[in-house]
Amino acid sequence: METFNLSQSYPTQDIRKRTSFLTIGLSICLLAAGISLFFLPESTSESNINALKIAAGSLLAVISFYFLIFRARYQAYVGTGSMVCKKSLTFSKEQFQGLKKYLADYCDLPAMPREEPQLYLLIVHSKDNQYAAFQLLTYSSFLYKPVTELCCLKGEKASTFMKNLHTSHGFLH
Protein backbone atom coordinates (compact mmCIF):
# COMPACT_ATOMS: atom_id res chain seq x y z
CA MET A 1 0.00 0.00 0.00
CA GLU A 2 1.30 3.44 -0.91
CA THR A 3 1.98 5.94 1.86
CA PHE A 4 -0.28 9.02 1.89
CA ASN A 5 1.65 12.12 0.82
CA LEU A 6 0.46 15.27 2.60
CA SER A 7 2.36 17.49 0.16
CA GLN A 8 0.06 16.40 -2.67
CA SER A 9 -3.39 16.34 -1.06
CA TYR A 10 -5.38 16.77 2.14
CA PRO A 11 -6.85 13.95 4.26
CA THR A 12 -10.34 13.71 2.76
CA GLN A 13 -12.04 12.25 5.83
CA ASP A 14 -11.24 15.35 7.92
CA ILE A 15 -11.04 18.21 5.42
CA ARG A 16 -13.66 19.36 2.92
CA LYS A 17 -14.17 22.33 0.61
CA ARG A 18 -16.58 24.94 1.95
CA THR A 19 -18.17 28.00 0.40
CA SER A 20 -17.75 31.39 2.04
CA PHE A 21 -21.07 33.16 1.72
CA LEU A 22 -19.61 36.24 3.40
CA THR A 23 -17.00 36.52 0.63
CA ILE A 24 -19.69 36.06 -2.01
CA GLY A 25 -21.87 38.73 -0.40
CA LEU A 26 -19.02 41.23 -0.11
CA SER A 27 -17.98 40.52 -3.70
CA ILE A 28 -21.49 41.23 -4.93
CA CYS A 29 -21.52 44.50 -2.97
CA LEU A 30 -18.15 45.48 -4.50
CA LEU A 31 -19.45 44.63 -7.96
CA ALA A 32 -22.60 46.71 -7.40
CA ALA A 33 -20.50 49.65 -6.17
CA GLY A 34 -18.19 49.34 -9.19
CA ILE A 35 -21.07 49.21 -11.66
CA SER A 36 -22.84 52.12 -9.96
CA LEU A 37 -19.77 54.30 -10.55
CA PHE A 38 -20.31 53.87 -14.30
CA PHE A 39 -23.85 55.24 -14.06
CA LEU A 40 -23.18 58.34 -11.96
CA PRO A 41 -24.01 61.56 -13.78
CA GLU A 42 -21.21 63.14 -15.75
CA SER A 43 -19.52 66.11 -14.10
CA THR A 44 -18.00 69.07 -15.89
CA SER A 45 -16.22 68.22 -19.09
CA GLU A 46 -12.94 69.81 -17.97
CA SER A 47 -12.63 67.58 -14.91
CA ASN A 48 -10.71 64.32 -14.65
CA ILE A 49 -13.25 62.98 -12.17
CA ASN A 50 -15.03 61.00 -14.93
CA ALA A 51 -11.85 59.08 -15.75
CA LEU A 52 -11.31 58.48 -12.05
CA LYS A 53 -14.86 57.09 -11.69
CA ILE A 54 -14.31 54.71 -14.61
CA ALA A 55 -10.94 53.56 -13.23
CA ALA A 56 -12.35 53.06 -9.71
CA GLY A 57 -15.40 51.23 -11.07
CA SER A 58 -13.21 48.95 -13.16
CA LEU A 59 -10.91 48.25 -10.20
CA LEU A 60 -13.85 47.40 -7.92
CA ALA A 61 -15.32 45.09 -10.58
CA VAL A 62 -11.98 43.29 -11.08
CA ILE A 63 -11.48 42.84 -7.32
CA SER A 64 -15.02 41.56 -7.01
CA PHE A 65 -14.53 38.98 -9.78
CA TYR A 66 -11.23 37.89 -8.23
CA PHE A 67 -12.91 37.18 -4.89
CA LEU A 68 -15.87 35.45 -6.54
CA ILE A 69 -13.68 33.18 -8.67
CA PHE A 70 -10.65 32.46 -6.45
CA ARG A 71 -11.65 33.17 -2.85
CA ALA A 72 -15.25 31.98 -2.54
CA ARG A 73 -14.23 28.39 -1.67
CA TYR A 74 -11.77 27.24 0.97
CA GLN A 75 -10.58 24.07 2.75
CA ALA A 76 -12.13 23.56 6.21
CA TYR A 77 -11.90 21.05 9.04
CA VAL A 78 -15.13 19.05 9.10
CA GLY A 79 -15.39 18.95 12.91
CA THR A 80 -15.52 22.71 13.53
CA GLY A 81 -15.75 24.29 10.07
CA SER A 82 -12.54 26.21 10.73
CA MET A 83 -10.32 27.18 7.79
CA VAL A 84 -7.28 24.98 7.21
CA CYS A 85 -3.69 26.24 6.76
CA LYS A 86 -0.65 24.42 5.44
CA LYS A 87 2.79 25.16 6.89
CA SER A 88 6.23 23.68 6.33
CA LEU A 89 9.24 23.67 8.63
CA THR A 90 12.75 22.64 7.63
CA PHE A 91 15.05 20.76 10.00
CA SER A 92 18.77 20.18 9.51
CA LYS A 93 20.56 16.93 10.36
CA GLU A 94 21.63 18.30 13.76
CA GLN A 95 17.99 18.83 14.74
CA PHE A 96 16.78 15.30 13.88
CA GLN A 97 17.10 13.93 17.44
CA GLY A 98 15.20 16.83 19.02
CA LEU A 99 12.54 16.56 16.36
CA LYS A 100 12.20 12.82 16.92
CA LYS A 101 11.81 13.33 20.69
CA TYR A 102 9.18 16.03 20.15
CA LEU A 103 7.12 14.07 17.61
CA ALA A 104 7.37 10.77 19.52
CA ASP A 105 4.81 12.14 22.01
CA TYR A 106 2.22 12.28 19.23
CA CYS A 107 2.87 9.28 16.96
CA ASP A 108 5.18 6.34 16.27
CA LEU A 109 8.19 7.31 14.21
CA PRO A 110 10.54 5.11 12.21
CA ALA A 111 14.29 5.63 12.39
CA MET A 112 15.34 8.96 10.94
CA PRO A 113 17.20 8.63 7.63
CA ARG A 114 20.86 9.44 8.29
CA GLU A 115 21.77 10.15 4.66
CA GLU A 116 19.31 13.03 4.30
CA PRO A 117 20.75 16.53 4.86
CA GLN A 118 17.37 17.89 5.98
CA LEU A 119 13.79 16.90 6.71
CA TYR A 120 10.59 18.83 6.12
CA LEU A 121 7.78 18.78 8.64
CA LEU A 122 4.60 19.51 6.72
CA ILE A 123 1.68 20.53 8.94
CA VAL A 124 -1.96 21.02 7.99
CA HIS A 125 -3.89 22.63 10.83
CA SER A 126 -7.19 24.35 11.45
CA LYS A 127 -7.15 28.01 12.48
CA ASP A 128 -8.87 27.11 15.77
CA ASN A 129 -6.15 24.47 16.45
CA GLN A 130 -8.70 21.69 16.94
CA TYR A 131 -7.14 19.67 14.11
CA ALA A 132 -3.56 19.07 13.04
CA ALA A 133 -2.09 16.57 10.60
CA PHE A 134 1.63 16.31 10.05
CA GLN A 135 4.12 14.26 8.10
CA LEU A 136 7.89 14.20 7.77
CA LEU A 137 9.14 14.40 4.19
CA THR A 138 12.44 14.36 2.33
CA TYR A 139 13.11 16.20 -0.90
CA SER A 140 14.76 14.33 -3.74
CA SER A 141 14.46 14.34 -7.51
CA PHE A 142 12.03 17.27 -7.47
CA LEU A 143 9.55 15.36 -5.27
CA TYR A 144 8.69 15.29 -1.59
CA LYS A 145 8.81 11.69 -0.39
CA PRO A 146 7.17 10.67 2.89
CA VAL A 147 9.44 9.46 5.68
CA THR A 148 6.57 8.82 8.12
CA GLU A 149 2.93 7.93 7.90
CA LEU A 150 0.40 10.74 8.20
CA CYS A 151 -0.35 11.55 11.84
CA CYS A 152 -3.72 13.21 12.58
CA LEU A 153 -4.46 14.89 15.91
CA LYS A 154 -7.81 16.22 17.03
CA GLY A 155 -9.15 18.25 19.93
CA GLU A 156 -6.94 19.01 22.91
CA LYS A 157 -4.04 16.92 21.58
CA ALA A 158 -3.95 18.99 18.37
CA SER A 159 -4.17 22.22 20.34
CA THR A 160 -1.27 21.17 22.59
CA PHE A 161 0.80 20.10 19.57
CA MET A 162 0.33 23.44 17.83
CA LYS A 163 0.97 25.46 21.00
CA ASN A 164 4.18 23.54 21.78
CA LEU A 165 5.33 23.77 18.17
CA HIS A 166 4.71 27.51 18.21
CA THR A 167 6.65 28.12 21.41
CA SER A 168 9.52 25.70 20.83
CA HIS A 169 10.19 26.31 17.14
CA GLY A 170 9.03 29.87 16.55
CA PHE A 171 6.22 28.64 14.34
CA LEU A 172 3.78 31.43 13.58
CA HIS A 173 0.15 30.88 12.57
Tell me: the pLDDT tens digits for 84-93? 998 888 888 8
User: Which has more confidence, 173 or 136?
Assistant: 136
Nearest Cα residue to 125 out of 170, 168, 71, 171: 171
Domains of the chain, by residue range, sit at: 21-71, 83-169
| Mean pLDDT of all residues belonging to the chain | 85
How does pLDDT run across 28-54, given as a tens digit for each residue? 999 999 999 988 887 767 778 888 899
pLDDT at 27: 96
pLDDT of residue 2: 57
**94-98, 105-109, 129-133, 141-145: which is most confident:** 129-133
Query: Does residue 173 carry a pLDDT above 50?
Result: no
